[in-house]
Amino acid sequence: MVEQKRGGKVLFVSSIAGLITGPYTGPYCASKHALEAFAEALHAELKPFGIQVGTINPGPYQTGFNDRMMETWKRWYDPQRHFTDHSGVRFPFEQYDPEEMIARMVELAEADEGPFRTLLPQAFVEVVKDEQAQAWQRRL
């Protein structure tokens, strides 16, 4: 595809976790942050060949993933060996109907052009931007 310069599109399904990080989510967020970096690099590298690259960053949609994530620690956590108390860990956000995100994914895949980053639900765009801004103000 690159050699023929015919164009194309690559859409990565990332997460809001690729843009912000919360307690006890470090490994998952690290994988999504890496995906974001890879997408940024490919966007710059493939643009001259007419290949569009973007990310789709779903927020808290009710797919079962978030619920499983909040339950898995119970399988390995041992208060005799681990130094943090997970007993109060709860998923911090309302979960939304995933149909909105699915429809947007299809729309982006079929569109001639679109934004580099698509974050939904819309209510989380400002949440993510605010969290990123607060990161610049954090103290050690």
Domains of the chain in start order, with CATH, are 8-135 (3.40.50.720)
What pLDDT is attached to residue 93? 63
Q: Is the alpha carbon torsion for 105, 115, 32, 8 positive or negative?
A: positive
Residue 110 has pLDDT above 60, yes or no: yes
- Count how many residues are written for the chain: 140
Q: What is the mean pLDDT of residues 56-66?
A: 78
What pLDDT is attached to residue 140? 94
DSSP state letter for 90: -
Is 96 a residue of the active site? Answer: no
Q: What is the mean pLDDT of residues 118-137?
A: 93
Residue 124 has pLDDT above 90, yes or no: no
Angstrom distances, CA of residue 37 to CA of 31, 49, 73, 108? 10, 20, 28, 20
- Give the H or E element holding residue 54: strand 51-58
| Active-site residue (options: 24, 28, 61, 96) | 28
**pTM of the predicted model as reported, rounded to 2 decimal places:** 0.78
